DNA sequence: CGCTGAGTTGACGTAGGTCAAGCAGAGTGG
DNA sequence: CCACTCTGCTTGACCTACGTCAACTCAGCG
């Protein structure tokens, strides 16, 4: 059992709420949807909300998570530009979504997913769901069977693939977000990072940016 | 880090292989597929196999799992009669599937899932995938943030819902399978079960059958 | 420059893993 | 019908990876 960090249930600040303004617009990608911008830590939808929309990140990043009754949090995924999130098969959202940073996204009215019309949009949503499933399956292996250093190494490789493909990763999330995604605490994430640094596998020029110095060795750790 | 139980990489016995006979047949449910029977612990497909088929359990039960290089195993799901498993978006299977007990299932030639024809079969497969995703998301919360007793309590409730709906559950899997599903060891699963028994929440008439004496209390543990 | 919040580090505690012994039910053979 | 083994499960004693608590560092910012 672990204590619940206060910030893991943080609310958007008043300033945040003020900047939480719908911005109707039209563009190639928004033919069917509406663009919105929200500030860092703003809530996009909450667990239990009616799931009337599907979302696509344009810029920034989003976390989706669930809480246990005592506040323990599991972040199931981070959503980066291009990712679709918020699909549900039932009526309601089973997750809460919050912006990791100031974020722009497109809101699509949820066409009934059960009526698979074979159209471009429904195909895109189904593809997004399949990708979510694969990621979730990889993540179950990580959560169930990897130790702290292996978890962090795997995470860095995945983020590197998704963000840059290069050797430098600029993480959009805090240590707490990483911890709640990997089933660890901030302290253990921090210790694992410094461990990897001492081993020469990564460099830590700043807190949020990480250089993967030896991807092969990192990959060996995560398999 | 944990030791690898020898049986977690057990191979089908020779006797098992002999009983591994394709049984072509036709019935209402098999209009598009072929029925097969396999013995307990037989492999149905392996990680890396070409994913040319999709499977539906008729009787018995199936586990799908992945291994780390040193043999640590994560069972992502158990598949019971009526469940469809083995869908992949890529070319190859990313899991191994084995029978938990003597099992009958139907094998469907994999229609290309990307061409969503809106037909009955492709709708059924997409529904199965969505259900898998929801289960995987629930399981990530369990693996990442629940303690041993909470994991076992949650698992018993889920299995009870899926198998009987009543208060008696006849588990089709061993303690080792439970452990590798819940991210624990057999010893911890065993201790958690006797803990729940001592608390009066469950009864253990035999090893494989469990009586849920206080579902409300169990549910409180898993939330 | 001092304040603030995020991150790191160290000392210590504990849930759950490890190792080893023992037990019970299901086959098997005499 | 009873000893005999085999396999899965439980239990106990001990160990360790990771959580907890608390002090400290440092970057960003008014």
Residue A143's pLDDT is what? Answer: 98
Q: Between the CA of residue B162 and those of A51, B79, B165, B169, B182, what are the distances in Å?
A: 25, 10, 7, 9, 17
Q: Within a domain: residue A26?
A: yes
Contact: A132, B130; criterion CB under 8 Å: no
CATH number where B203 lies: 1.10.10.10
Of A197-206, B6-15, B27-36, B203-212, least confident by mean pLDDT is: B6-15
pLDDT at B28 over 60: no
Residue B71's pLDDT is what? Answer: 95
**A32 falls in which pLDDT band (50, 70, 90)?**
confident
Check residue B8 and report its DSSP letter.
G
Contact: A141, B89; criterion CB under 8 Å: no
Write the pLDDT tens digit of every residue in B31-69.
678 999 999 999 999 999 999 999 999 999 999 999 999
Q: Within a domain: residue B22?
A: yes
Same domain (yes/no): B126, B184: no
pLDDT at B8 over 60: no
Same domain (yes/no): A120, A160: no
Residue B67's pLDDT is what? Answer: 98
Sheet holding B84-85, edge to edge: B33-38, B103-109, B53-59, B84-85
Q: Which nucleotides in chain C lie less than 7 Å from some protein C-beta?
A: 6-11, 15-20
Same domain (yes/no): A211, A165: yes
**Minimal CA separation from B75 to chain A, in Å:** 8
Contact: B183, A94; criterion CB under 8 Å: no
Q: Within a domain: residue B121?
A: yes
Nearest by CB to A133, which of B136, B141, B223?
Answer: B136
CATH number where B125 lies: 2.60.120.10
Residue B18's pLDDT is what? Answer: 35
Mean pLDDT for the stretch of residues B10-24: 39
Q: Answer yes or no: are the C-beta atoms of A180 and A220 closer than 8 Å.
A: no
Which alpha helices (H) appear in chain A, and where do they start and end? 14-18, 120-145, 148-163, 175-182, 186-198, 215-221
Total domains, chain B: 2
Same domain (yes/no): B127, B179: no
pLDDT at B91 over 70: yes
Q: Which of A105, A135, A165 is the last residue of a domain?
A: A135
Same domain (yes/no): B11, B112: yes
Residue A30's pLDDT is what? Answer: 57
Q: Within a domain: residue A163?
A: yes
Burial class (CB in 10 A: 0-12, 13-18, 19+), A27: exposed
Same domain (yes/no): A79, A157: no
Could you identify the residue written with the tokens 């640094």?
A: A197
Same domain (yes/no): A131, A172: no
Which residues have a Cβ under 8 Å from the Cβ of A67 and sit 6 or more positions away? A9, A47, A73, A74, A96
Q: Within a domain: residue A141?
A: no
- CB < 8 Å from A in window 171-190 of B: 180-183
**Residue A79 CA distance to nucleotide D29 C1' (Å):** 29
Same domain (yes/no): A41, A124: yes
Same domain (yes/no): A155, A102: no
pLDDT mean across residues, chain A: 87
Range of the domain at A155: 146-221
Same domain (yes/no): B150, B123: no
Closest CA to B81 of B129, B130, B9, B29: B29
What CA–CA distance (Å, rounded) separates B95 from B76? Answer: 9
Q: Which of A135, A156, A172 is the last residue of a domain?
A: A135
Q: Within a domain: residue A185?
A: yes
Residue A20's pLDDT is what? Answer: 39
Buried b (16+ CB within 10 A) or exposed e, B144-164: bbbebbbbbbbbbbbbbeebe
Based on its alpha-carbon atoms, the radius of gyration of chain A, rounded to whole angstroms, reads 18
Q: Within a domain: residue A61?
A: yes
Mean pLDDT for the stretch of residues A136-152: 98
Same domain (yes/no): B126, B204: no
Burial class (CB in 10 A: 0-12, 13-18, 19+), A45: buried
Q: Within a domain: residue B1?
A: no
Same domain (yes/no): B177, B202: yes
Q: Which of B139, B170, B186 is the last residue of a domain?
A: B139
């Amino acid at each position: 059992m672990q204590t619940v960090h206060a910030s893991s249930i943080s609310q958007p600040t008043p300033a945040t709420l003020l900047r939480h303004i719908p911005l109707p617009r039209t563009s190639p990608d928004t033919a069917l949807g509406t663009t919105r911008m929200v500030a860092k830590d703003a809530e996009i939808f909450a667990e239990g909300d009616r799931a009337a929309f599907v979302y696509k990140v344009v810029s920034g990043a989003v976390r989706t998570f669930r809480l246990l009754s005592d506040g323990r949090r599991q972040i199931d995924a981070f959503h980066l530009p291009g990712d679709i999130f918020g699909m549900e098969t039932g009526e309601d959202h089973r997750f809460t979504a919050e912006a990791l940073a100031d974020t722009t996204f497109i809101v699509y009215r949820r066409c009934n997913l059960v009526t698979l019309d074979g159209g471009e949009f429904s195909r895109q949503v189904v593809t997004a769901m399949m990708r979510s499933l694969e990621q979730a399956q990889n993540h179950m292996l990580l959560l169930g069977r990897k130790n702290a250093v292996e978890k962090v190494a795997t995470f860095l490789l995945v983020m590197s693939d998704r963000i840059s493909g290069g050797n430098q990763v600029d993480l959009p999330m805090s240590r707490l977000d990483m911890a709640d995604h990997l089933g660890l605490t901030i302290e253990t994430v921090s210790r694992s990072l410094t461990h990897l640094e001492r081993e020469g596998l990564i460099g830590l020029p700043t807190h949020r940016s990480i250089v993967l110095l030896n991807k092969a060795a990192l990959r060996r750790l995560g398999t």
